Amino acid sequence: MPVQPSPSLPDTALSHAAPPDAATHAVAEEQRHLDAALARRSQLLAELDAQLAVRADPDLPGAEDVVERSRRAGLRRRRTELERAESGLVFGRVDTVDGVTRHVGRVGIAASDDDADPLVLDWRADGARAFYTATAREPQGLARRRHVRTAGDRVTGVDDEPLDGSATGTDDEDGLVGEGALLAALSERRTGRMGTAVATLQVEQDAIVRAPAERTLVVQGGPGTGKTVVALHRVAYLLFTQPHLAERGVLLLGPSTRFLEYVAQVLPALGETAVVSATCDTLVPGAAPERDESRDVAELKGRALWQDVVARYADSLVPDARALTVRLDGEPLTLDAARVGQVLRAARAGGRSVLAARRRAVDLLLDALVDEAAARHAELLERVEEGFEDVLGKLDAGLAARDDRAPTTGARGGDVDGELTDDDLDRLRGELARDAGFTAVHDAWWPVTDARTALADLLGDAALLARHAPELTPAEVRRVTGEPSGLAPSDVPLLDALADALGTPDAPGEQGEFLAQRAATHRGWVYGHVVVDEAQELSPMQWHMVLRRCPTRSVTAVGDVDQTEAPHRHTDWADVVAPVFGERWHRADLTICYRTPREVMELVGPVLRAAGSRNAPPRAVRDAGVPPRDVVVPAGTSDAALGTAVAAEVARLAERYDGGSVGVVAPRDRLSHLGAAVRGVPVLSTSEAKGLEWDAVVVVDPDGIAAEPRGWNGLYVAMTRCTQELARVTVGAPSGRV
């Protein structure tokens, strides 16, 4: 739900029928303040540029260099924040009953370096919260709230909202704050990109934005309640209040790449860059799905039981203890099975991954072989010394027999110095480590296992899978192993789990200058916070992917269980998250629909009930003044004729909402024909349309959508994508259920 300042309203719009001169004065007053804020912003940018232009000392000691790099990273973040705040730098103002005035904007700007009173108060600061939460019933010490509309560097209008009871009609029956600014923003044309809602966040939205991040937060909200907006603004708020999160970054997990493109401008517009965007399908670098799969197999491979299956399978890839022999200078060095068993137990201690244990085992094998070589050397030396003593003894006896006065050798075998020094042992260890024979022996004993190859082996071998997955029935094993080769979407979480259990052959490199670039190339990156949109669609194995990337469980999950189309059929949030997060989560609800007008929301109740929901649709707060339109084409109409009818409806809506956007949502089996017939607008399935919105939407063949798997849920999604007008093109006589 893009909610943003509207430059299209009259320049001197002022609430409660203020006189024209008062409106003009208010605009001029806010223009002076905006000019001052922009000038100060330019000054701060120049100062930051000067500081960043000073090259860092390359000879700084390690600790000081870390501090300096951190300082410069902070300067760059602040510069980015200021640079991107030019549009809508100031969007609000509050006047307290004590006569104090504060301006609220995208970023905080101090009047001067030593002035504690800000020229602009950052919207995320505690002092700005009343701008979003004060009402006429609970004014929180405010006499007035003002929304300031701007276009570039010009103030185009203000909207005043008295909170001290001085005006009638301010008893917020709808629970809205800044109603005039909000409804104006909701009426704007959609551009195909989500904008920020920083100026018009509502009370229940603000509470979620500012909720603590220590536990997993699950946000349930129907269509148009602003779930995505809330989640993205929560990211900006958390990065502001907990700067350490920027060191690890934030992961935004969306339902599709189209959705991520749709929301891509929001966080940069709020000055945030420490964010990585991905889908579950793209979360593992280099492992995108290569084929589709059936819903029943996707459900089967999404079950949580695969965590244990993968763990057992990974353990099976650790070799058994057996005697190992390496030749050194042509002589065999042998470690018996008992000694190799000791190496294995020590290598696996501490819960190391398989490949980390392998690396440790190689080190321990080298130690054991050096010990064996040293013992062999000592044994040989002892034999030499014993033989030398025997020879010398015989020589002394012979000399004594010839002449009692002859001198004896006086020598003992212990005087022969041949012991290995520490340097000798280190050299021997190095020779062994570089020896091709040693490498061949330990590679044959414990081969390096590639996660993708290992997963293909597991999923392609019925006997192997049955051995490690006793939870599966024989029929389920056959369904899994009967799938074609190549990665399917449900394989990606399995691959991630197996890669985690196996570990990486070598320490992964971090590629890229910026955090987002480094994190995106690093499968094992741990984030400071994770946001999951359309969270109801995730399978248990996909949730385990999330947990591996944020073991602190600092997660914000937003979604609507009534829009679930995934094959796992979750109908309650406890079913979705409890298997992974246990009781360490809490729920918040969004109950007001800002996007979809009343005329449309009045139609979705029966659809929601047909989907099996026990929930009421969210409450719409506005009328569009346009009733939904129904177009009926005869049963048996050809694909070409249906495409012509849909194209005509799209053309009508495109003309009506010139400068806005139109979308088409249809059953999957009609997409290719409609896509060829309708040009210039997106033609999507209900799954692809999730999270998106348009001014007007054409829903094609509602009965066909309802007949798809989880089709009533999909139809609920399709009918609630519009901000102004809904058109339905029905094939044949309507069923009466839609």
Helix (H, G, I), strand (E, B) or coil at 94: strand
> Who contacts 244 (Cβ-Cβ below 8 Å, separation ≥6)?
528
> Who contacts 639 (Cβ-Cβ below 8 Å, separation ≥6)?
670, 673
Give bridge partners of residue 571 from the DSSP assignment. Answer: none
From the list 505, 437, 529, 596, the residue with the least C-alpha distance to 215 is 529
Nearest-5° Cα angle at 611, 608 to 615: 45
Q: How many CB atoms lie within 10 A of CB 94?
A: 24
Q: What is the largest CA-CA distance in the chain?
A: 140
Helix (H, G, I), strand (E, B) or coil at 577: helix
Q: How far apart, in whole angstroms, are the C-alpha atoms of residue 320 and residue 648?
A: 70
- Rounded to 10 deg, the angle between the 354-402 and 337-348 helix axes is 140
In order, the DSSP letters of 171-221 are --TT--SSHHHHHHHHTSPP-SS----TTT--HHHHHHHTS-SSSEEEEEE
225 is in an annotated binding site: yes
226 is in an annotated binding site: yes
CB 109 within 8 A of CB 115: no
Token couple for 512: 């890229």
Q: What DSSP state is assigned to residue 508?
A: P
Helix (H, G, I), strand (E, B) or coil at 265: coil
CA 424 to chain centre: 52
Identity of residue 303: R
**Burial code of 65-88, b = ≥16 C-beta within 10 A, e = fewer?**
eeeeeeeeeeeebbbbbbebbeeb
Q: How far apart, in whole angstroms, are the C-alpha atoms of residue 578 and residue 547?
A: 12
Pairing of strands 662-665, 694-700: parallel
Q: How far apart, in whole angstroms, are the C-alpha atoms of residue 145 and residue 128?
A: 11
From the list 135, 130, 182, the residue with the least C-alpha distance to 1 is 182
**Burial code of 45-63, b = ≥16 C-beta within 10 A, e = fewer?**
eeebeeeeeeeeeeeeeee
Q: How far apart, in whole angstroms, are the C-alpha atoms of residue 2 and residue 594?
A: 10
Element (H, E) at 63: helix 62-83
Q: How far apart, in whole angstroms, are the C-alpha atoms of residue 577 and residue 220?
A: 13
From the list 605, 606, 608, 646, the residue with the least C-alpha distance to 731 is 646
Nearest-5° Cα angle at 115, 111 to 116: 110
Q: How far apart, in whole angstroms, are the C-alpha atoms of residue 433 and residue 420?
A: 18
From the list 628, 694, 693, the residue with the least C-alpha distance to 661 is 694
Q: How far apart, in whole angstroms, are the C-alpha atoms of residue 49 and residue 496?
A: 42
Alpha helices, H only, 210-254: 227-241, 245-248
228 is in an annotated binding site: yes
Q: How far apart, in whole angstroms, are the C-alpha atoms of residue 213 and residue 239?
A: 11
Helix and strand numbers, DSSP H then E, in the chain: 29, 21
221 is in an annotated binding site: yes
224 is in an annotated binding site: yes
* Residue 614 burial (C-beta neighbours within 10 Å; 0-12, 13-18, 19+): exposed
From the list 201, 224, 233, 221, the residue with the least C-alpha distance to 591 is 221
- Rounded to 10 deg, the angle between the 354-402 and 491-502 helix axes is 20
227 is in an annotated binding site: yes
Q: How far apart, in whole angstroms, are the C-alpha atoms of residue 664 and residue 666?
A: 7
Binding residues for ATP: 221-228
Binding residues: 221-228
